[in-house]
Structure 1
Amino acid sequence: MENIKETVMEVIHSVLPITLVVTALQFTIIWLPMELFIQFLIGSVLVSVGLILFLLGVNVGLQPVGEMIGSALSKTRSLLMILFFAFVLGVVVTIAEPDVRVLSTQIDQVSNGEIPQSILILSVALGVGIFVSLAIFRIIFNVKIVYLLAVGYGLVFLLAAFTPPTFVPISFDSGGVTTGPLTVPFILSLGLGVASVLRGKSASRDGFGLIGLASIGPILSVLLLGVIYG
């Protein structure tokens, strides 16, 4: 019951400010048609209800399962199995991420189908999957995250020089949308589960950083997509 109350308050604190700002602008500056403004208010209520149910589902189901999967994979002591399933889970959870679908739909509309929605989603998902595996590899072999970040962003800037300008902003937005409400809890829980089982690993030190690494993958994959399409 306490979890439900906290989730409701969290959503209210997230949605209420933008609703109040738009309402204030409505009656001072923008003066939208009343029908459109009412649609906005109804949409805000629906978004709030949807977010409450969504976050409850994440807290009740996804986070515990992600941590248990990470723990179970680590206990197998099979490096290939751990990295393979980390890749698969990274791909699957990204495909299910609502933010990724919103971005791909908008890009498909703006580009008039030149950048297909399915291709963009797949490239972003593959990028996340590869870098989630790399992040788990870092936890297992205690590789310093600063090295991986330096190499990753070095490749980003290198590829950006050979990619059509249209794809550069799309690639960075693709990295941003992977830090959504579905991907973040699951991947973080996966990393914490892996770190909690391996001897000598600290959950606070080694279990985090996955999202920072995972967000590089979509940037690189979309830049590569730009090189191919360009």
Structure 2
Amino acid sequence: MQDIKDTFKEVVLAIIPITAVIILLQFTLIGLPLDVFLQFLVGVVLVSTGLFLFLIGVHIGLLPIGEMIGSTLPKTNKVWLIVLVGFILGFVVTVAEPDVRVLSSQIEDVSSGNISQMVLIYAVALGVAIFVALAMLRIIFGIELKWLLFGGYAAVFILSAFTASDFVPISFDAGGVTTGPMTVPFILALGVGVASVLRGKSSSSDSFGLVALASIGPILAVLVLGVIYG
């Protein structure tokens, strides 16, 4: 019950500032038509309700199951299985990510259909999946995060010199949208679960940084698309 109260308070504190600013602008500067303003207020209620239900679902569903899967996999003593499950979960969670779908839809509209929505979604999901699998290997073998980040971003900047210019900003936006409400809780919980079993006391330092790694994958994937389309 306390978790529900805390979540409700968190949602209210998140929504109130933007609502207050819009209402202030409505009566001072903007003066939107009444029907548009009422649509905004209805939207606020719907967004608040949806966000509240989503966060409840994350706490009672996504986080526990992600951490449980992560803590169970190492007990199989099969590195390939841990990496494969990380790859599959990284892919399917990203396909379900709302932010990715919004970005891909807008890009399809702007490009007049030249860049297909589904092609972009699957490319981004594949990039996340590869780097989640790589993050699993990092946790298993204790590889330092800085070297993987350095290598990943070095590849990004090198590849950006050979890709179509339109794809460079799209690629970095793709890296940003994968840090959304579906992907981050599940991937973090998975990493914490794996690291808590394999790395013991250093589980915190080994599990965090996983999202930073996962966000490199979509950037590289979209840059590769740029090379292909270019």
Please state which band the TM-score falls in when normalised by the shorter chain. over 0.9
Superimposed CA distance per residue, residues 87-111 of structure 1 (whole angstroms, 9 cap, x where no aligned partner) = 0000000011111111111111111
Partner of 1:64: 64
CA distance in 1, matches of 2:201, 2:91: 25
The corresponding residue for 1:172 is 172
Counterpart AA for 2:168: V
Q: Which residue number corresponds to residue 144 of structure 2?
A: 144
Structure 1 residue ranges, 4+ long, deviating more than 3 angstroms after superposition: none
CA RMSD of aligned residues (A): 1.0
Amino acid at match of 1:179: T
Identity of aligned residues (%): 64
Q: Where in structure 2 are the equivalents of 1:78-89 lying within 5 Å?
A: 78-89=78-89
Quick check: 2:95–2:125 contact (8 Å CA) kept in 1?
A: yes
Task: State the Cα distance separating 1:29 from its structure 2 match.
Answer: 1.5
Q: Which runs of 5+ in 1 are unaligned?
A: none
Q: Distance in 1 between matches of 2:122 and 2:73?
A: 25
SS of corresponding position for 1:204: helix
1: CA distance, partners of 2:33 / 2:115: 34
**TM-score by structure 2 length?**
0.98
Tell me how far apart the structure 2 counterparts of residues 89 and 164 of structure 1 sit (CA, whole Å). Answer: 30
Q: Secondary structure at the match of 1:119?
A: helix
One-letter code aligned to 1:123: A
- Residue 156 of structure 1 and its aligned partner are, at CA, apart by 0.5
Deviation, structure 1 residue 200: 4.7
Deviation of 1:21 after TM superposition, in Å, equals 0.8
Shift of residue 199, structure 1, vs aligned partner = 4.8
Query: Partner letter of residue 119 of structure 1?
Result: V
Task: Tell me which residue corresponds to 1:229.
Answer: 229
Unaligned runs of 5+ in 2: none
- Comparing 156-165 with 143-152, greater Cα deviation is found at 156-165
The TM-score normalised by the length of structure 1 is 0.98
1:90 paired residue number: 90
Instruction: Kindly indicate whether the alpha-carbon contact (under 8 Å) linking 2:130 and 2:217 is maintained by their aligned counterparts in 1.
Output: yes
